[in-house]
Structure 1
Amino acid sequence: MSTPIRILLVDDQHLIRLGFRLVLEAEPDLEVVGEASDGVEAVREAARLTPDIVLMDVRMPHLDGIAATERIVAAHPSARILILTTFDLDEYAFAALRAGASGFLLKDAQGSELVAAVRAVHRGDAALAPRVTRRLVELVSGLPTEPAAPDALATLTDREHEVFLAIARGQTNAEIAESLFLSESTVKTHVGRVLQKLAARDRVHAVILAHRWRLAGPDAAS
């Protein structure tokens, strides 16, 4: 049996944490290893427990979830943060993703959606609520473009470049594998190499780079 995905729950409401725990611990591959009730405690517990995934509330006392996300990602780059909030306002979604979050879901998501998001983020995919994804692409597309990084892009093989563009379109590893006729394990290897060569923190960061470099979207460079 594979090692369970270790999760830290962060929310200032005890009943919310309890509900998340009940949903997650019903799955044999998920394990809740700790809880925190504010951002300061979240940073401390993340350092102590080194979880695979942090489920992070946004609005909390002492230190909000966005600031806590930024601190955790800076100290523990391998940690993956999944933001959970009752608000789908643009500034929260975009600020969380810029801070280093790998996913963003609303608290009214179904239990199955939460479990799927945790697994997606753990395997290296991004997890975003559909309406947040659409708005994120709009926001990123509206950012000022930047000159492409020729040295970094030049290091990508033709296949890695295809994978990079697929990531920019928001495709999962499974979708990339199907479209490029590759195995998911091969795609995962390519994704890792792309992120490393472009110095991208994660898939969300890669999407932002692709749009800023005009490699994706309606104004994509040829």
Structure 2
Amino acid sequence: MDGTDNQQGSEKSSEGQQGTSEQTQTFTEEQVLERERNARSDALAETGRLRVANEAVIKVAQKAQERIGRMIRDQDDAELEAHKDEPERISAIRERQQRRVAEDKLATAESELEVERVKTKEAQEVGVKHTKEQNAREVASRLNVDVQTLLKFTDGSKGAMEDLAKSLPKVGEKTPLIPDSGKTTGAGTLTVEHVKQMSPKEQFERASEIAKLPLGLD
């Protein structure tokens, strides 16, 4: 009786694990849309944090600029007052001051434009990062492969991740590690030592093979 019960229990456990695995790999359109909405929400939140940080720095710089502006105006007024009885000198002073004011306005406009460029670039980078992570999570979940491998060895596009995933082992599968002979294997069988000596380009080109080895390459 005990043996039969244990066997039945094992069969149920196996069936339960198989069912769980199948459920993990099945996603409804609503689930996919929900993950995409969450990713967009995360991206907007991160963009907002970056904008707040930038705006805080900008406000400090603006206040400093305002103080400098007041100091310069006071100096200009004092200079004009000191030469108020010298018409020709006053004319030259006013011309110089007006030219400097125009240059300052141009510099301020260029600075503000650069700030906007930085904000736009940061927002785009955040968006790209979240899109890449979202693609990796979706493909990894659907095809049951390692998400970090997809992130590390692709450009982040869903197509590239799907192509790589076709050659990757399923999560949970074990591939025996081939002992290192200490010799360079070139394009042959990979070993731990060989992978460590690879350049980033070589790692990218042989990503599907590397992913099959139980290595800690991070």
Q: Do the structures match in fold with TM over 0.5?
A: no
Which TM class, normalised by the smaller chain length? under 0.3
Q: Higher strand proportion, which one?
A: 1
Greater RCO between the two (CA within 8 Å, min separation 6)?
2
**Structure 1 or 2: larger helix share?**
2
TM-score under structure 2 length normalisation: 0.25
TM-score by length of 1: 0.25
Say which one has the larger Rg: 2
